């Protein structure tokens, strides 16, 4: 399965870009609930909007440099998206400079916003260091002229079901500390990026979500519904072979009316240094 | 709220640091644990907070002043003349921090909370100046 999340680009304006992605039933980034249709992981929507914004930047700088996302003010998950859905994507680029960018974006199903990314920013890296610029340019042309159909393309599904790894410490409901080593053969590295493989931030976010499920002792990933992530920032890449520790802490579940809500803070640690931090807000549905 | 207080709050938020530790003289990298990537985040947050645009690479450009590139730094090392300009440009940084042979890429290690406050204030003053001037240019005489 390719780690490419834009099927077609449908419009480019001054500081705006739109497109769509059809999430196939075979998409590995999905969670299967007790009953009902499988849901697309919220990280997949983030990746789709982020990749769309990347295409805008790449076109503007003539495929010289690719954006690398480093921080976001907030990501709001407003509605679940089910596999099989066509998700419309749009992004607004707030600033685009030689070395930095900022954008916001949305994922919509049937005209309703399902997920919103607010004020995401980062820096640029030379595209040739990451992938073949000619291949990227051709892919862009193809996306703009009817779409690039890659769904169901050959390749192993990435190991999405268990991203947590080894549990090092666990205080149920309050804290979990886990460690996972990213194997060089993880399939997402083939596209992210061919010449400079790094673990996508959205996979790290999903790893944090899955660790939180384990922290709470829930039986299924779908028992924890992400509502928002705020003040997320990554300071270093997670490369193939890197060991990454996840530390999630929380004051515990709080009840608001009939809802059970959880605020958690998560950090990722690599080589003893904190490389990611964010605040996560969930609803517990189990 | 004063500019410095707003800048302190923004930096504390960006670095997940206690506001008490984010004093005007605190050095971002040495005292607050900032990394180069945090500078971009802080710049963006300040731009949003103050609704301004902070020029990138401003300090190096301004410090260079009338000096040519070669006069400012040789093989990346800042010359004495360059250091002297930097000291003038960054009065909030203790003089002892401007060590001989400082590398261009080490300039961010000098940045204090006060450095960002000064950059913001300068930009605010500049924009007020631009607005006043543009108002003057387009003003229609009443009589």
CATH of residue B101 = 1.10.1200.10
State the pLDDT confidence band at B135, using cuts at 50, 70 and 90: very low
Of residues B16, B37, B56, nearest to A277 (C-beta): B16
Beta-carbon separation of B16 and A123 below 8 A: no
SS3 A108: strand
Q: Does the CA dihedral A158-A160-A162-A167 come out positive or negative? A: positive
Residue in B with minimal Cα distance to A101: B44
pLDDT at B141: 39
Q: What is the pLDDT of residues A73-124, one digit of tens each?
A: 999 999 999 999 999 999 999 999 888 999 999 999 999 999 999 999 999 9
Question: Do A143 and A176 belong to one domain?
Answer: no
What residues of B are in contact with residue A71 (Cβ under 8 Å)?
41, 44
Domain count, chain A: 2
Task: Report the gap between the CA of A24 and the closest CA in chain B (Å).
Answer: 35
B130 belongs to a structural domain: no
Which among A186, A187, A199 has a CA at the least distance from the CA of A246?
A199
Using only C-alpha atoms, chain A has a radius of gyration, in whole angstroms, of 18
Listed in sequence order, the residues at least 6 apart from B68 whose beta carbon sits closer than 8 Å to its beta carbon are none
Q: Angle B36-50/B113-138 helices, nearest 10 degrees?
A: 40
Distance CA A250, CA A212 (A): 9
Question: Do A42 and A74 belong to one domain?
Answer: yes
B95 belongs to a structural domain: yes
Instruction: Say which CATH number the domain at A13 has.
Output: 3.10.129.10
Which residues are bridge partners to A104 per DSSP?
Answer: A92
Question: Do A1 and A119 belong to one domain?
Answer: yes
Which among A157, A183, A216 is the end of a domain? Answer: A157
- Using alpha carbons, list the distances in angstroms from residue B100 to A73, A181, B81, B96, B109: 39, 43, 11, 10, 14
Listed in sequence order, the residues at least 6 apart from A82 whose beta carbon sits closer than 8 Å to its beta carbon are A36, A37, A38, A39, A40
Q: Look at strands A65-77 and A8-13 and give their pairing.
A: unpaired
B120 belongs to a structural domain: yes
Helix (H) or strand (E) holding A268: strand A259-270
Question: Do A107 and A200 belong to one domain?
Answer: no
Interface subset of B 18-37, CB within 8 angstroms of A: 35, 37
pLDDT at B132: 57
Domain count, chain B: 1
B140 belongs to a structural domain: no
B31 belongs to a structural domain: yes
Question: Do A166 and A138 belong to one domain?
Answer: no
B89 belongs to a structural domain: yes
Q: What is the pLDDT of residues A164-185, one digit of tens each?
A: 999 999 999 999 999 999 998 8
Of residues A121, A122, A235, nearest to B35 (C-beta): A235
- Mean predicted confidence (pLDDT) in B107-115: 93
State the residue range of the domain holding B19: 3-124
pLDDT at A150: 56
Locate B64 and state its tokens.
């260079």
Assess B16–A contact: CB distance below 8 Å, yes or no.
Answer: yes
CB–CB of A210/A246 below 8 Å? Answer: no
Question: Do A135 and A204 belong to one domain?
Answer: no
Question: Do A48 and A104 belong to one domain?
Answer: yes
Asked whether the ipTM of the predicted complex exceeds the cut of 0.90, the reply is no
Task: Report the gap between the CA of A235 and the closest CA in chain B (Å).
Answer: 6
- Mean predicted confidence (pLDDT) in B92-106: 90
Q: Mutation test of the interface with chain A: which of B38, B44, B49, choosing the one with the most A Cβ atoms within 10 A?
A: B44
Question: Do A84 and A26 belong to one domain?
Answer: yes
CB–CB of A215/A221 below 8 Å? Answer: no
Assess A100–B contact: CB distance below 8 Å, yes or no.
Answer: yes
Residue in A with minimal Cα distance to B14: A231
Q: Mutation test of the interface with chain B: which of A67, A98, A233, choosing the one with the most B Cβ atoms within 10 A?
A: A233
Distance CA B44, CA A122 (A): 10
What residues of B are in contact with residue A235 (Cβ under 8 Å)?
35, 37-38
Which among A140, A157, A174 is the end of a domain? Answer: A157
Distance CA A121, CA A96 (A): 10
Question: Do A147 and A200 belong to one domain?
Answer: no
pLDDT at A241 over 90: yes
State the pLDDT confidence band at A136, using cuts at 50, 70 and 90: very high
B48 belongs to a structural domain: yes
Environment class of A187 (CB within 10 Å of its CB; exposed 0-12, middle 13-18, buried 19+)? middle
Distance CA B143, CA B137 (A): 16
Question: Do A16 and A63 belong to one domain?
Answer: yes
pLDDT at A34 over 80: no
Distance CA A260, CA A83 (A): 26
State the residue range of the domain holding A151: 1-157
Beta-carbon separation of A70 and B41 below 8 A: yes
Helix (H) or strand (E) holding A230: strand A224-234
- Using alpha carbons, list the distances in angstroms from residue A199 to A186, B46, B76, B137: 9, 29, 33, 53
Which among A157, A189, A205 is the end of a domain? Answer: A157
Distance CA A225, CA B45 (A): 29
Interface subset of A 198-227, CB within 8 angstroms of B: none
Q: What is the pLDDT of residues A180-204, one digit of tens each?
A: 999 988 888 999 999 999 999 999 9
- Mean predicted confidence (pLDDT) in B36-60: 86
CB–CB of A268/A249 below 8 Å? Answer: no
Task: Please give the sequence-ordered ranges of beta strands (E in DSSP) within A80-192, or none if there are none.
Answer: 86-96, 100-109, 112-126, 166-171, 175-181
What residues of B are in contact with residue A119 (Cβ under 8 Å)?
44, 48
B139 belongs to a structural domain: no
Question: Do A177 and A148 belong to one domain?
Answer: no
Beta-carbon separation of B40 and A121 below 8 A: yes
Question: Do A141 and A165 belong to one domain?
Answer: no
Distance CA A91, CA A11 (A): 11
Beta-carbon separation of B44 and A70 below 8 A: no
Distance CA A144, CA B54 (A): 34
Q: Peptide bond preceding A193: is omega within 30 degrees of 0, i.e. cis?
A: yes
pLDDT at A18: 98
Half-sphere exposure for A122 (CA within 13 Å, toward CB): 24
């Amino acid at each position: 399965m390719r780690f490419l999340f834009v099927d077609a680009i449908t419009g480019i304006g001054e500081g705006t870009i739109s497109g769509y992605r059809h999430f196939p039933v075979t998409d590995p980034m999905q969670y299967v609930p007790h009953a009902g249709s499988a849901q697309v992981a919220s990280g997949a929507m983030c990746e789709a909007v982020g990749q769309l914004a990347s295409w805008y930047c790449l076109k503007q700088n003539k495929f010289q440099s690719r954006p690398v996302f480093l921080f976001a003010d907030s990501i709001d998950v407003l509605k679940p998206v089910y596999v099989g859905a066509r998700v419309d994507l749009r992004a607004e680029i707030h600033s685009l400079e030689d070395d930095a960018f900022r954008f916001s974006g949305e994922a919509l199903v049937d005209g309703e916003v399902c997920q919103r990314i607010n004020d995401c920013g980062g820096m640029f890296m030379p595209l040739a260091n990451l992938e073949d610029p000619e291949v990227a340019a051709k892919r862009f042309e193809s996306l703009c002229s009817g779409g690039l159909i890659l769904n169901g393309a050959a390749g192993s599904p990435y190991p999405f079901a268990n991203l947590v790894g080894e549990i090092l410490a666990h205080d149920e409901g309050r804290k979990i500390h886990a460690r996972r080593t990213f194997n060089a053969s993880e399939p997402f590295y083939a596209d992210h990026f061919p010449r400079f493989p790094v673990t996508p931030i959205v996979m790290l976010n999903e790893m944090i979500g899955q660790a939180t499920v384990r922290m709470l002792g829930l039986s299924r990933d779908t028992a924890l519904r992400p509502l928002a992530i705020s003040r997320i920032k990554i300071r270093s890449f997670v490369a193939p072979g890197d060991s990454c520790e996840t530390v999630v802490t929380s004051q515990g579940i709080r009840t608001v009316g009939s809802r059970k809500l959880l605020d958690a803070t998560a950090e990722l640690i690599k080589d003893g240094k904190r490389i990611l931090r964010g605040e996560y807000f969930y609803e517990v549905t189990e | 709220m004063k500019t410095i207080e707003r800048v302190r709050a923004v930096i504390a938020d960006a670095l997940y640091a206690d506001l008490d530790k984010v004093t005007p003289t605190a050095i971002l990298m040495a005292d607050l644990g900032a990394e180069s990537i945090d500078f971009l985040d802080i710049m963006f947050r300040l731009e949003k907070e103050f609704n301004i645009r902070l020029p990138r690479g401003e300090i190096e450009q301004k410090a260079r002043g009338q000096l040519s590139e070669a006069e400012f730094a040789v093989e990346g090392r800042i010359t004495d003349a360059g250091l002297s300009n930097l000291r003038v440009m960054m009065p909030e940084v203790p003089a002892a921090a401007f060590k001989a042979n400082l590398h261009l890429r080490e300039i961010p290690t000098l940045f204090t909370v006060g450095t960002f406050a000064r950059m913001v204030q300068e930009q605010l003053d500049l924009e007020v100046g631009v607005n006043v001037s543009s108002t003057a240019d387009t003003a229609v005489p009443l009589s």
